Amino acid sequence: MKNIHYFILVLLTTSTFAQSALYNSGSIRIHDTATLGFHTNLINNATFDQNLGTVGFYGPTVTSVSGAFIPVFYDIEIFKPLSAVDLETSIDVTNALNFIDGDIRTFRNNPIENMIVSPDAFTTGESDLSKVDGYLSIKQKQNFFFTVGDASYIRPLTLNSESENPEAKCAYFYEDPNIPTTFNTSFNTNSREKEVRALSTTEFWDIDGSLPSTISISWNERSAISNIVDEYYQIGVAGWHRTAKKWINLGSVNPIGDLNQGAVTSETFVPNDYEAITFAKMAIPTKLFKLNNYLVSNNGDGINDFLYIPELEESPNNRIRIFDRNGLQVFEQNNYQNEFTGFSNMNNLVYQRNEGLPSGVYFYLAYLDDLQLEFQGFLYLTH
């Protein structure tokens, strides 16, 4: 069956468009054991939604998806080194969107056309080299890790809502909100409430959703956070209110990291009330104290097999929270007794939970409630 499908596709591509595009007029369906690879443009002018198996977008040149109908695929694989798939119409994935190399690009001035992740679908493999450069949309999901960015970096946003969102979408913009290129207004950083002392002029996000939610966003060296704050713990989240036409303080829940990298979580707000989200300097900084940085190496050699913080012994009533570099919380424990060994205990979007968290840098927050002290620092996890 695979060979028959392949023959038909090559015939259509060659005879109709001289190898410049595959035109679907309703004669194609991908079965559950099939794999279909696109090395050319797809023009989809018919229903193309009863698909199983895997669709791959391959090759070193930019290709596009266009047409009057949205194609719906089961598994999608992206392998386009130093290249991309441009969406002139949306694509819907119902199972797995696997990023290997290369981007899915959407036109930010036309947010109607975007990459859609259906209720049972997920993304994997995302990185600086492979993500959605533009708008990513979700359906019927309560929590989601938006793997968005620009041509150079993945700049994700984590959405946590009070219930399932009928629909939500997000895009990242590496540009000054005062002079956005794809909006019909300026998000004037001088128009802000008193609690917001300064705002990033480097980057912002557009997140849309109708339900009360919190978001987590991270910064890196390119974010130039030191231009707006003196210490990382002054960082918060601000949003440009659609009707008030000014930047509103959306909160600063447990900022973690340093001036080069870190993450912060907002308080609860309704994303649809705001047109842009970015980093802000808050009027009242949270006082934190420094502890050491730690190594966790759960390889069974008896050395650094778990996270050990001696100071916690001075406060039996304590709490530990651990976050990855994108701000996703991966561990939480009250009255900590050396339980963290590299595995998540959170009911969230941790990938391949049973295999342990990936090696890398994580942030921790330690609360010594008996002493009314708070600490933060880094830990490095290796296996």
At 296-327, the pLDDT tens digits run 987 878 888 999 988 888 888 899 999 988 88
Please indicate, yes or no, if residue 26 is contained in any of the structural domains.
yes
Please indicate, yes or no, if residue 156 is contained in any of the structural domains.
no
pLDDT score at 1: 36
pLDDT score at 2: 39
CA 15 to CA 10: how far, in whole Å? Answer: 8
Among 286, 316, 351, which residue terminates a domain?
A: 286
**Together in a domain, 18 and 97:** yes
pLDDT score at 290: 60
CB 162 within 8 A of CB 213: yes
* Tens digit of each residue's pLDDT (9 = 90 or more) over 203-221: 999 999 999 999 999 999 9
**Together in a domain, 10 and 129:** yes
Q: Is the pLDDT of residue 158 over 80?
A: yes
* Tens digit of each residue's pLDDT (9 = 90 or more) over 221-230: 999 999 999 8
Q: How many CA atoms lie within 13 A of 75 on its CB side?
A: 14
Q: Which residue has the higher pLDDT, 178 or 12?
A: 178
Q: Band of the pLDDT at 181, cuts 50, 70, 90? A: very high
**Together in a domain, 277 and 230:** yes
Selection from 166, 181, 162 nearest residue 276 by Cα: 181
Q: What's the total number of domains in the chain?
A: 3
CA 52 to CA 2: how far, in whole Å? Answer: 13
Among 91, 109, 134, which residue terminates a domain?
A: 134
Q: DSSP labels for 159-198?
A: EEEEEEEEEEEEEEE-S-TTS-SSSSS---TT-B-TTEEE
pLDDT score at 92: 98
Q: Is the pLDDT of residue 105 over 80?
A: yes
pLDDT score at 3: 39
**Together in a domain, 126 and 189:** no
**Together in a domain, 8 and 123:** yes
Q: Band of the pLDDT at 235, cuts 50, 70, 90? A: very high
CA 281 to CA 267: how far, in whole Å? Answer: 15
pLDDT score at 302: 82
- Interval 34-38 mean pLDDT: 92
Please indicate, yes or no, if residue 150 is contained in any of the structural domains.
no
pLDDT score at 94: 97
Please indicate, yes or no, if residue 336 is contained in any of the structural domains.
yes
DSSP 7: H
Q: Which residue has the higher pLDDT, 367 or 126?
A: 126
Please indicate, yes or no, if residue 85 is contained in any of the structural domains.
yes
pLDDT score at 351: 59
**Together in a domain, 252 and 304:** no
pLDDT score at 169: 97
Per-residue CA distances from 50 to 26, 35, 46, 138, 213 (Å): 11, 14, 12, 19, 33
* Percent of the chain topping pLDDT 70: 91
pLDDT score at 383: 76
**Residue 121: domain span:** 1-134
pLDDT score at 233: 83
**Together in a domain, 305 and 216:** no
The mean of the pLDDT values for the chain is 89
**Together in a domain, 293 and 317:** yes
Question: Which residues, including other chains, have CB under 8 Å from residue 313's CB and lie 6 or more apart?
Answer: none
- Interval 248-259 mean pLDDT: 90
Q: Band of the pLDDT at 352, cuts 50, 70, 90? A: low
**Together in a domain, 26 and 127:** yes
